[in-house]
Each structure stands twice: as structure tokens, then as C-alpha cells.
Structure 1
Amino acid sequence: MRIVFMGTPEFAQASLQKLIETGHNIVGVFTQPDKPKGRGYKLVAPPVKELALEHNIPVYQPEKMKDGTALSILKELNPDLIAVVAYGRILPKDILELPKYGCINVHGSLLPKYRGAGPIQWSVIDGEPVTGVTTMYMGEGLDTGDMILKKETPIGENETYGELHDRLKEIGAEALVETIGLIEQGKAPREKQDDSLSSYAPMLDKKIAKLDFNKPAQQLHNLIRGLSPWPVAHTTVGGKLLKVHRAVLSSGKGEPGAVIDNKKFIVACKEGALELLEVQMEGGKRMKGEDFLRGRKPERLGD
């Protein structure tokens, strides 16, 4: 089967790696254009491009998908199937209908919940106990296509978005290979999504990263986990920004925002308390909460 792979970040790189390892015929890779990064704004290639070039797979980076350029390339490649994983581009109808077996997608949630760009982050922020990946046939809607396979996994009590992302990218890669195998055998199931059960997971915005200790500790704990490693939850100490990379639920009472233990860096919330395990002062290095307290003795946070 001739396969065109479309993807951009590390989450997609894992799926491409698995397709290569399992001997699938990848005739081309589509990924987003290189982007400037760092102080020198040097152009950096997406992880998927780097992997494809290592294996001498042709790479295409169209600026747009609707101007006919991508369609022309795809007609020449003549894929039987297009596999899409975190590509970051919406495919127009003429591309969706081009391959013999259609276009399939790996999505980082148990659809129809958490459609959109930030499914892994929001599943953590919302305190979900279970998540997973879904493979599906792609349609014109946003993550609304018929489902093929679902793979569930529990979310750890203290698991961060970054940690869950790294687990799900491997689960997604396995699911993609299994899905392609079912399609090749003509045995792929097709289940319509129940739109009444759907929810939307938008791209993260730094505006949600500020910690409000007038909220329950559990809610803040979930927010901290869901925003690690980016954009990182934060509060303030003496008017300066303090990033909170990791925390755990703790016990104790006090005014919301008050530091109620100067050895373990425990902060009172509206309900319960949080122990801040890893923090980073504005302009400083990431450190353990207890080490931070050796140099400072703040009475409260969020002032």
C-alpha cells in the first residue's frame, strides 16, 4: 500500500517512526514549513521532517493546502492512503477524496470528547481519570469522522501533560499501525461519533496559566499538571513571577494563597492545600520548592 504521511511535531514523529519500523511503503511526507526559533531566529525543521530525511523519504512543506499545489503533488505520488497525525493543517475535500482508502487520523483523545488542538492538555486540566487515542476516517469537520479504533489509558494522579503526551504518542503509533493493517485486510470497523457527547479542546492560551488560590487545590493541581511543560502555571511573589512546574495535593488550612509550611512550601487554597515541588523565579533557574524557601520566606503568593 502506497502511504503518504502528514504530521509535524514529536507526537507525529513517533507514528512515522513506527510505520518505518514496520516496513510500510511511505512514498512521501507532508509537514509544516520550517520555523524560526531561538535568539538568532534560525530556521528549525519539524521533527517529522528530520526523521523523514534520515530515511530518504521525500518531504513536502506546502504553505497552503487549498491552492492546488498540495493536490498536484499528491496526484503524482498517487497514495492508496493518507495517514495524518498532528499535521496542523485542514485538508480540503479534493485531498480527502483522493486516496483509494481515504484519509485516516490519529487523535489524542477518546472521541467524541476533546475534539480540537489541545486534547491531551485539557483532559489533564479537567481532571479526567482516563484518556487515550482514537483513529478515524477523516471528514470535512473538525475531528468528526467515523471512528476506527480506540485505545484507553488511565491518567496518573500526578501525571503532567508532558508525561502523558509521551505515553500517548507511542500508543497512537501502535494504533495507527493496527488500523492500517485492518484497512489492508478490509476489516476496519467504522463507528459514527455521537455529537451530543462531544466537547472541544482549544489550543492553550497563556491567559489561563495564572493560579488563583481562591479555587480548590484539586482544580489548581490539575491546571499545573496540564500546563507542564508549556506554558507553565504561575503566580507571583513580591510582585515577581513564580512559575510552578510541579505540585502535589497536601493538607492544611489557611487564607487562600498563604504559605502555611515554610519547609515544604505548602500553600493554602480555598479547599485543601498544595505543596509546590518545583518552581522557577522570574529570571532564575528551576529548583525544588524547599530549596527556593531556603533563600526566601514568603508569607503568601499571588500578591
Structure 2
Amino acid sequence: MTHGVDFEPGETPPCPKATAPRLRVVFAGMDGRFSTVPLQALARRHQLVGLVHSLPRPVRRGWLVDWARAGSGAGNLRRFAEYLGCPFFSAGRSAGRGLTAFLQQVRPDLLCLSNFSFLLPPEILEIPRRGTINLHLSLLPRHRGPNPWLWMFHDQDRTGGVSVHLVDEGEDSGPLLGTLEHEVPEGITAGELADEVLPRAAELLVDVVDALACGSLLPVPQASPDGLRRARFVPPGEALIDWPTWPASRVSHFLRGASLWYEPFPPIPGFVRRYGPALPGKPEDPPGTLRQAMRTGWVACCDGRVPFRLQAVPRELWRLGLPLALGAGLWALA
């Protein structure tokens, strides 16, 4: 039997891909490439018999920003289900009974999660014949929880990782089936890191599923999480930066890496701030001061500043322009 820990992509898997049985798999995640990259890799090797879309946690940023950023729900995953010709289910946190019926109908061998937004009850975990596994973007037990990369950048980790584990009733606490490590260079953005890590993570997931199909993996219990920070959800506006003590380099590293999940300043409808590398120098404003002129600006730090530019989000601007245009039309008719 092969232990799952340190089961690296690129190594000869315990069961050759050519002889690994194809499993009936239900894949569950959210829209976006943190789910769709592993989904595509899995669909090339195994039989996708269902896709489950989990709704993201509701976030309140102000009514205008919330309206601009509101989506249609299951965009990417619904389109993948249509392309693959497999059943689709969109699950909220109260959709346990419907999800149970969906899984009982498609009868999967395995349920695979990646970037799934809520914990599953035991009655759902018991349905797949070979269990439920999860792809988590940290070296467990470090950074258990919904926001591993946010806290990885916050804590200045220079080594990150990916874990595939069996799902139990806890939060990212099940036995490990495979892991890999990766570097976290200073100043890298979440998008740049995703470009590097997600293809490797997807390959790891497929290798683990192949090995499970052959019965050649031995799950390994996780180490104790005592003393480790939970990678918890962070509500908008929570103060995570210690402005008087954090140097500009750390502020820049955190804001560039965690920008998908965290913004310390009030959002601007239709735009997002893209932070640049730290600029050393004598501060002219108190640390944490935001200065903005049109599409550019900076944040003052204790030993310099962090520049940023405003990047337009066309879809949000279109949604914001629609009520403005309607309002102008009604005004003209009045």
C-alpha cells in the first residue's frame, strides 16, 4: 500500500493510468477556475455523472457594490454540465434534502470537492460508494478553513501546498491521501500563483482518484492542529493589517496576494484596486492613509507606500450603467 502523504504529481502513481478503472464521479465546487481547472482534468480521466454548484457565502459591501457584483449564480459549472451532458444541481446551505436526492439518483462511486463553500452532513458523505474527497489549497492541517490563501499571504508563508483528503464531519480534518508543496514568492499575485499551482493541484487530484480506483492508497491521519490558525472567513472591512508596524513590503505582499478575498478600504462600484510592489521612502502620511487621484493612488506605510491603480470591471460597469440609462430615460420623459 502507498501512503498518500508526499504523493507528488509526476511520480509513477501506485496504479498506472492506463489500467486504472474509470470511476463514476460527481464533482462539486463553485464557479471560477479554483473549481473548473481540477474539474477539466478529472473529466478527461473519469466519468462525470453529475456536477454540483455551491453558492458562495453572501458578502455585504454596500447595496450598490453588491448589485454591481451580483451574478447569475451557476455560470461556469452549469455550462460545463451542459457541455459534458451530465446532470446539474445548484446547492445552497439549506439544500441538504435536494442534494441527497440528487446523489442517490446519479449513484456516484466518488464525490470530489474543490472550493466547495459549506460542510456536508453525514448522510450525504455516506452516499458515494468510495467516499468523498476534497482538494484543499494548503498543507493540512495548516490553514484549515474556507480562506487558506488569504491567511497564507497574511502570515507571510514562503511555502504553501495542496492537500487531497477524505472528507469527514469536521472542517478539512479528514485523513490525507496526497500532498504537494510549492513556493510562495514575495510579491506574487493570487492570479500568478493560481497559474502555477492549479494545474499541479488538478494533476494530484487525478492521480489520487486513479489510486483510489485501484485500491492502492492508504489514508494517513493529519497531525494535530493545536496552535495553528484557522483560515476563517473575513467580513468586509475587518482590520487585518497592523499599519504602524507592518513594512510596506509586507503590506504589498498581502494585498497583492489576497486581493481576491480582501480589500481594506471601501470598494468602488465597477472597479477593483490592483496593488503594486512597495516603494520605500519617508512616509508623508500616517500609516494606513489612502491617497487617490483619478485612476491611481497609494497607501501610506510606516516605511514607504504601496501604489495601486483602479482596474475597470466591464461587467459591473455595464450593470451600473443600466439603471443610470433607465433613470436618464425616465427623466427625459417626465
Q: Verify same fold: TM over 0.5.
A: yes
Task: For residue 221 of structure 1, give the secondary structure of its aligned residue in structure 2.
Answer: helix
Q: Report Cα offsets for 1:213-239 as digits up to 9, x if no partner.
A: 423223322331233245434499xxx
For residue 109 of structure 2, what is the aligned residue in structure 1? 80
**Aligned counterpart, 1:3:** 25
Q: CA RMSD in A?
A: 3.3
Matched, 1:134 2:163: yes
Rounded to whole Å, the distance in 1 between the matches of 2:164 and 2:156 is 23
Deviation per residue, 1:164-185 (Å, 9 max, x gap)? 2343332221111011011112
CA displacement, residues 66-104 of structure 1 (integer Å, 9 cap, x when unaligned): 643222221221111111111213211111122221100
C-alpha contact 2:150 2:262 (8 A) present in aligned 1: no
**Structure 2 unpaired stretches of 5+:** 1-22, 59-65, 290-295, 314-334
- Which of 213, 218, 227 does residue 258 from structure 2 map onto? 227
Q: Report how far residue 60 of structure 1 moved.
A: 1.3
From the superposition, tell whether residues 219 and 205 of structure 1 become closer, same or farther in structure 2 (CA, over 3 Å): farther
Q: 1:93 to 1:219 in 2, by over 3 A?
A: same
Corresponding position of 1:17:
40
Compared CA separation, residues 100 and 211, structure 1 to 2 (3 A)? closer
Task: After TM superposition, give the deviation of residue 188 of structure 1 in Å.
Answer: 1.5
In 2, Cα distance between equivalents of 1:245 and 1:75:
45
Q: How does 1:193-204 map to 2 (within 5 A)?
A: 193-195=222-224, 196=226, 198-204=228-234
Structure-2 separation of matches of 1:209 and 1:227:
14
Alpha-carbon shift at residue 12 of structure 1 (Å): 0.8
Distance in 1, Cα, partners of 2:186 & 2:50: 40
For residues 234 and 64 of structure 1, what CA distance do their matches in structure 2 show?
29
Distance in 2 separating the partners of 1:174 and 1:152? 13
Q: Which residue of 1 aligns with 2:206?
A: 177
Aligned residue pairs, count: 271
Tell me the secondary structure at the aligned position of residue 142 of structure 1: coil
2:119 pairs, out of 87, 90, 98, with 90
Q: Structure 2: how far apart are the matches of 1:210 and 1:244?
A: 17
- Worse-matched range after superposition: 44-53 or 154-163: 44-53
The farther-off stretch of 128-137 and 190-199 is 190-199
Alpha-carbon shift at residue 56 of structure 1 (Å): 1.2
Deviations 1:12-58 (A, max 9, x none): 11111111223x11111111369998559663424222212122121
For 2:82, what is the secondary structure of its paired residue?
helix
Which structure carries more strand by proportion? 1
Within 2, Cα distance between the matches of 1:250 and 1:34? 35
1:127 offset after TM fit, Å?
A: 0.8
| Partner residue, 1:114 | 143
Percent identity over the alignment is 26
1:123 maps to which residue? 152
Higher relative contact order (CA 8 A, sep 6+): 2
Asked if structure 2 preserves the Cα contact closer than 8 Å seen for 1:210 and 1:235, the reply is: no
In structure 1, the partner of 2:5 is: none
Flag structure 1 segments of 5+ consecutive residues without an equivalent.
237-241, 287-303
Answer whether contact 1:129 1:156 (CA < 8 A) is retained.
Answer: yes
Match of 2:82 among 53, 61, 74: 53
TM-score, scaled to structure 2: 0.70
Match of 2:275 among 227, 241, 246: 246
- Give the distance between the partners of 1:124 and 1:223, measured in 2 at CA: 5
1:301: which partner in 2? none
The structure-2 alpha-carbon separation of the partners of 1:209 and 1:54, relative to structure 1 and needing over 3 Å to count, comes to farther
Q: Structure 1 residues 285 and 5 mapped into 2: Cα distance closer, same or farther (>3 Å)? A: closer
Task: Check whether the contact 2:283–2:305 (CA below 8 A) recurs between aligned residues.
Answer: no
Q: Which amino acid aligns with 1:269?
A: C
- Answer yes or no: is the 8 Å Cα contact 2:273–2:309 preserved in 1: yes
Counterpart of 2:301 in structure 1 is 269
- Alpha-carbon displacement from aligned partner over 1:224-272 (angstroms, at most 9, x marks no partner): 1233245434499xxxxx975223234333456489xxxx9887633x3
User: For residues 40 and 273 of structure 1, what CA distance do their matches in structure 2 show?
Assistant: 32
Q: Distance in 1 between matches of 2:171 and 2:69?
A: 36
